[in-house]
Copies of this chain bind each other. A is one copy, B any other.
Amino acid sequence: MSDTSRSAERDRTSPHDITEAVVGRFDATTDSRLRELMQSLVRHLHAFAIETRLTEEEWLAGIEFLTATGRACTSTRQEFILLSDTLGLSMVVDAVNHDGPSSATESTVRGPFYVPDSPERPMGSSIADQSGSGDPVLVSGTVRDTSGQVIQGAIVDVWQNASSGAYAVQDPTQPAENLRGRFRTGPDGRFSFWAVRPTDYAIPEDGPVGAMLRAANRHPWRAAHLHLIVSAPDHVAVTTHFFDGESRRLDSDTVFGVKPSLICHFVPHHPSEAGSPDGADGPWFTLQRDVVLARLTP
């Protein structure tokens, strides 16, 4: 037997040796936060491969999945955010960054359908610019701080899907500003606007994330919700949802966005009841929900 093969017997490298070598290589990273992130990432990435004894074929399938996910991204579609959402990473990042006073309204995912600079609309008006967007819902409440004081000048930025399932940003048949708008509270801290009853909808299924969900026997549905970002000077803004308590997917929302405190009751009303929207000849609803913001600590 040659000298070569004898030396191999002494020096075989273990997976853990490799992890320590890679972590050590990042010791020279001068940006201490980047160093911390890269060393933690390397430890967990390696531990995943070691724990599962990841095969070379599975590794290659992972490389191809990530490559396809990159290819699916466009100016109006972010497949990596969809992947983060469906793996629950987005909600974990939300949780570690929003652990403020427990009496403030809880946050949840922003999701991929937010469009900045929605039109500011008059208090009490409707965000539906197209008839047939869905059953009318009068949404109202008060923006308060955690001590119960009302907040004047808060901005309630709302967006939602139509009863077809689609957001305007996904759907060229809707007016561009349909079902989104901003409202500014007055001295009483109150907000009110007409929305439509949201419906459960499937996230985009025609890319790698859809393939992952199918392979894992998971459905692509989100529980019905309205989106809100509520902000005010000197307060911590909250990105959240008002979920429909009658959705069938409250327990299986595909992005894990549901929190018990965010589930709301849409109160049904008959068309003949006082307060019905102009010209309504079908059911309509009211949703009353306050939003509580934490004060910024200077």
Contact = CB atoms under 8 A, between A and B. Distances in A.
A99 B59 CA distance: 17
Nearest to A48: B44
A260 B36 CA distance: 29
Contact of A49 (B34, B96, B252, B290): B96
A58 interface: yes
Given A40-B52, A55-B97, A87 B45 contact: yes
Contacts of A15: 92, 95-96
Contacts of A25: 218, 252, 256
B289 A42 contact: no
A13 B95 contact: yes
Contact of A289 (B4, B34, B104): B4
Interface of A: 1-2, 4-15, 18-19, 21-22, 25-26, 28-31, 34-38, 40-42, 44-56, 58-59, 63, 66-67, 69-71, 73, 78, 80-81, 84, 87-97, 99, 102-106, 141-142, 144, 146, 148, 215-218, 252, 256, 259-261, 289-290, 292
A78 B105 contact: no
The interface centre, meaning the residue of A8, A80, A102 with most chain B CB atoms within 10 A of its CB, is A8
A88 B42 contact: yes
15 contacts: A7-B260, A8-B106, A8-B261, A9-B102, A26-B216, A30-B217, A31-B215, A31-B216, A45-B87, A46-B92, A50-B92, A55-B93, A59-B89, A63-B84, A70-B70
Given A11-B259, A15-B92, 13 more contacts: A1-B292, A2-B141, A4-B290, A5-B144, A5-B290, A8-B106, A9-B102, A12-B259, A13-B259, A29-B215, A29-B217, A42-B88, A49-B96
Contacts of A66: 66, 69-70, 80
A245 to B, nearest CB: 12
Contact of A67 (B46, B73, B89, B106): B73
A70 B91 CA distance: 24
Contacts of A34: 215-216
The interface centre, meaning the residue of A55, A91, A104, A215 with most chain B CB atoms within 10 A of its CB, is A91
User: 5 closest pairs, A vs B, by CB?
Assistant: A70-B70, A22-B88, A8-B261, A44-B44, A11-B260
Contacts of A2: 141-142, 144, 290, 292
B259 A97 contact: no
Nearest to A89: B45
A255 B292 CA distance: 50
A57 B165 CA distance: 29
Nearest to A261: B8
Nearest to A58: B37
A203 to B, nearest CB: 14
Contact of A40 (B51, B81, B105, B218): B51
